[in-house]
């Protein structure tokens, strides 16, 4: 089966998405997600100018060979732009293989290891009372695991807090906004938030919290200790993780489980974290981590070190990535949990899909391949709009991690 065409569909049904469609001489096509929040056109151009010309005429069944060709063959390795582009090709080829063999992708990855993938969703509010309400609302929807965030007193626009009445979506159209950050104020507040949420839900609900890379290791160690009585499922991204050794200090001081990896794009971003058992959950994504092929290998490597998966699943990952994550999560033995930040109704309309949510779990469905389509006519009505993630400064004006 030869690749005859590959093209990009860039659209913005409430937010930007970059999708790759690969066609074959047997009439079977596949879809891959190439969305990199705030840097979408860099990946689209990488694919269009440098990858698509090399795909035409290749054997669509050779997934591993194509991955190695794109990774090693470019000489310039890694980085989010490169790896998101390779991921899109990889996802599309797994989609094609599933359709060609008339089976869902999870069957090609070893078959289902469980009935469904437990997911967690986001609860948030301007203050603790609103966050507690939001947690209760999501419990009523059937979620068994919930991430809680709330506005920090004295900080104007805290991470994870929506604009009045709208679902939380960090990317904003136009140029990057600036928010203010104080780790001191946050450290005084976060334990109170999680204490109130735990008191409201009782012992059985899994609670998570995202620090979003904002603390130093010793600050994160202190927070982890203070959160221990509230029994978190995990504390996410406590520090920026370029320095993997940063986690050693945190680990020495707290038994709160640690999750990291949503910005990683290679197993080499995480191998020390895994090998030293400094983390409990690996949050790499199929799209930014280079595709299903390397994520399966990363998950298998993590399994040998007691590390489970907790793949990133925010709205800036398209439904194609959500499907890929669910197929992989259903198949691997060391699946931990899957993030589920539901897309808007319009996004779901542009990307009809077979995955479904039921009673706290998601299932990828049994459609052949990944089980996601794209309505190109509808997508064309919503052209790309420049958008960025916010930036952040400390109270004295110093640029800090958002
Ligand atoms: O800020 O996906 O855990 N989820 C997150 C997300 C990220 C966005 C960045 O594009 O941290 O909300
Ligand atoms: Co996060």
269 lines ligand 1 (CB under 6 A): no
Q: Is the pLDDT of residue 134 over 90?
A: yes
Ligand 1 site, residue 149, Cβ cutoff 6 A: no
Indicate if ligand 1 lies below 6 Å from the C-beta of 261. no
What SS3 class is residue 304?
coil
Could you tell me the CA-to-CA distances from 235 to 105, 182, 227, 283 in Å, in that order? 31, 18, 9, 12
Q: Are residues 311 and 284 in contact, defined by beta-carbon separation less than 8 angstroms?
A: yes
| Confidence band for 53, pLDDT divided at 50, 70 and 90 | very high
Single out the residue of 67, 55, 96 nearest to residue 266, CA to CA.
67
Q: Whose CA is nearest to atom 6 of ligand 1?
A: 314
- What DSSP string runs through 187-211? HHHHHHHHHHHHHHH-SSSEEEEE-
Q: How far is the CA of 160 from the centre of ligand 2 (A)?
A: 9
Cα 103 to averaged position of ligand 1 atoms, centre (Å) = 32
Mutational pocket test of ligand 1: of 179, 312, 388, 389, the residue with most ligand atoms within 8 Å of the beta carbon: 312
122 CB near ligand 1 (under 6 Å): no
CA 311 to chain centre: 5
DSSP string of 46-114? IIIIIIHHHHTTSBTT-HHHHHHHHHHTTSS--SHHHHHHHHHHHHHHHHHHHHHTTSBHHHHTT--SS
* Beta bridge mates, 123: 148
What was the pLDDT predicted at 162? Answer: 79
Q: Is the pLDDT of residue 272 over 90?
A: yes
Q: What gap in Å lies between CA 50 and CA 86, rounded to an integer?
A: 11
- β pairing state of 258-260 and 281-282: parallel
pLDDT band at residue 158 using 50, 70 and 90 as cut-offs = confident
Which region holds residue 289: left if phi is over 0, alpha if psi is between -120 and 50, else beta?
alpha
Q: Is residue 122 within 8 Å of 149, Cβ to Cβ?
A: yes
CA nearest 7: which of 48, 54, 41? 48
Return the bridge partners of 120, or none: 145, 339
Ligand 1 pocket test target in 17, 35, 147, 170 with most atoms within 8 Å of CB: 170
Return d(Cα 208, Cα 225) in angstroms, integer. Answer: 15
pLDDT category at 169 given cuts 50, 70, 90 is confident
**What's the mean pLDDT in 52-69?**
98
Does 314 contact ligand 1 (Cβ within 6 A)? yes
The alpha-carbon radius of gyration of the chain (Å, integer) is 20
Q: Which of 18, 162, 258, 262 to mutate to test the pocket of ligand 1 (most atoms within 8 A of CB)?
A: 262
Residue 156 confidence class, pLDDT cut points 50, 70, 90: confident
State the Cα–Cα distance between residues 154 and 158, nearest whole angstrom.
10
Query: What was the pLDDT predicted at 71?
Result: 98
CB-ligand 1 contact for 210 (6 Å cutoff): yes
| Closest-lying ligand 1 atom to the alpha carbon of residue 171 | 10
Neighbours of 113 (CB within 10 A): 15
Is the pLDDT higher at 116 or at 158?
Answer: 116
What 8-state DSSP symbol labels residue 339? E
Percentage above 90 pLDDT, the chain = 96
Residues 6+ apart with CB under 8 A from 93: 22, 30, 32, 60, 61, 63, 66
Query: What is the SS3 assignment for 274?
Result: helix
Q: Is 37 a pocket residue for ligand 1 (Cβ < 6 Å)? A: yes
The answer to whether residues 209 and 238 touch, using CB atoms and an 8 Å cutoff, is no
Which residue has the least CA distance to atom 11 on ligand 1?
Answer: 212
CA atoms within a 13 Å half-sphere pointing along the CA-CB vector of 283: 22
Tell whether ligand 1 has an atom less than 6 A from the beta carbon of residue 212.
yes
C-alpha of residue 150 to centroid of ligand 2, in Å: 14
Report residue 330 as tokens: 């259903």
Tell me what pLDDT residue 166 has. Answer: 75
Instruction: Identify which of 242, 81, 182, 180 has the alpha carbon closest to the alpha carbon of residue 391.
Output: 180
96-115 pLDDT tens trace: 999 999 999 999 999 999 99
Structural element, H or E, at residue 388:
strand 387-388
Average pLDDT rounded to a whole number, residues 128-136:
97
Q: Which sequence positions are flagged as catalytic?
A: 159, 212
Q: Residues 288-339: pLDDT tens digits?
A: 999 999 999 999 999 999 999 999 999 999 999 999 999 999 999 999 999 9
Q: Where in the chain are the domains?
A: 3-104, 108-367
- How far apart (Å, rounded) are the C-alpha atoms in residues 44 and 12? 14
CB-based burial label for 396 (10 Å; 0-12, 13-18, 19+)? exposed
The response to whether residue 90 sits with its C-beta less than 6 Å from ligand 1 reads: no
Q: Report DSSP letters for 12-31, one per residue.
A: -SSS-EEEEEEEETTS-EEE
Residues in CB range of 164: below 8 A, 6 or more apart: none
Which residue, among 29, 291, 40, has the nearest Cα to 21 in the 3D structure?
Answer: 29
Q: Note residues around ion ligand 2 (Cβ under 5 angstroms).
A: 210
Element (H, E) at 260: strand 258-260
Burial bucket for residue 271 (CB in 10 Å: 0-12, 13-18, 19+): middle
Per-residue pLDDT, averaged over 6-29, amounts to 98
**What pLDDT is recorded for position 160?**
81
pLDDT tens for 347-390 read 999 999 999 999 999 999 999 999 999 999 999 999 999 999 99
Does 168 score more than 90 pLDDT? no
CATH number assigned to the domain covering 3-104: 3.30.390.10
Q: What is the mean pLDDT of the chain?
A: 97
Nearest Cα residue to atom 1 of ligand 1 = 170
Assigned CATH class of 108-367: alpha beta
* 170 CB within 6 A, ligand 1: yes
Compare 168 and 18 and report the one with higher pLDDT.
18
CA of 42 to the centre of ligand 2 (A): 23
The ligand 1 atom nearest the CA atom of 37: 10
- Residue 263 C-alpha to ligand 2 middle, in angstroms? 9
Q: Which of 34-38, 169-173, 297-301 has the lowest mean pLDDT?
A: 169-173
Task: Pick the residue whose CA is nearest to atom 8 on ligand 1.
Answer: 314
Average pLDDT over every residue of 215-234: 98
Which of 89-93, 115-119, 177-181, 309-313 has the lowest average pLDDT? 177-181
221-236 mean pLDDT: 98
Q: How confident is the model at residue 193 (pLDDT cuts 50, 70, 90)?
A: very high
């Amino acid at each position: 089966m030869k690749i005859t065409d590959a093209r990009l569909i860039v659209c913005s049904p409430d937010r930007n998405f970059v999708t790759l469609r690969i066609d074959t001489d047997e009439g079977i096509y596949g879809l891959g997600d190439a969305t990199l929040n705030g840097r979408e056109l860099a990946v689209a151009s990488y694919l269009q100018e440098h990858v698509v010309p090399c795909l035409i005429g290749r054997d669509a069944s050779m997934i591993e060979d194509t991955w190695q060709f794109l990774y090693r063959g470019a000489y310039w390795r890694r980085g989010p732009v490169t790896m998101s582009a390779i991921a899109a090709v990889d996802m599309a080829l797994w989609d094609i293989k599933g359709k060609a063999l008339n089976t869902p992708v999870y069957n090609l990855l070893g078959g289902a290891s469980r009935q469904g993938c437990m997911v967690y969703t986001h609860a948030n509010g301007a203050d603790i009372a609103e966050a507690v309400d939001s947690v209760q609302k999501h419990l009523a929807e059937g979620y068994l695991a919930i991430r809680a965030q709330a506005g920090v007193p004295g900080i104007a626009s805290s991470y994870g807090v929506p604009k009045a009445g709208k679902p939380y979506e960090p990317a904003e159209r136009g140029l990057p906004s600036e928010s203010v950050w104080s780790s001191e104020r946050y450290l005084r507040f976060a334990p109170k938030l999680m204490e109130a949420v735990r008191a409201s839900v009782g012992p059985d609900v899994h609670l998570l919290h995202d620090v979003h890379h904002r603390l130093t290791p010793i600050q994160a160690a202190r927070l982890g200790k203070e959160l221990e009585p509230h029994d978190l499922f995990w504390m996410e991204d406590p520090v920026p993780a370029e320095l993997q050794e940063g986690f050693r200090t945190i680990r020495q001081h707290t038994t709160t489980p640690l999750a990291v990896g949503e910005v990683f794009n290679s197993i080499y971003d995480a191998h020390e974290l895994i090998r030293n058992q400094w983390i409990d959950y690996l949050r790499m994504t199929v799209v930014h981590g280079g595709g299903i092929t390397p994520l399966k290998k990363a998950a298998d490597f993590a399994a040998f070190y007691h590390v489970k998966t907790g793949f990133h699943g925010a709205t800036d990952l398209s439904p194609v990535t959500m499907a890929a994550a669910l197929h992989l999560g259903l198949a691997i033995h060391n699946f931990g949990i899957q993030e589920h930040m539901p897309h808007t109704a319009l996004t779901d309309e542009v990307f009809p899909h077979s995955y479904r949510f039921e009673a706290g779990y998601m299932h990828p469905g049994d459609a052949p391949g990944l089980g996601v389509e794209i309505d190109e006519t509808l997508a064309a009505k919503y052209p790309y709009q420049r958008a960025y993630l916010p930036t952040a400064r400390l109270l004295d004006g110093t640029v800090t991690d958002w």
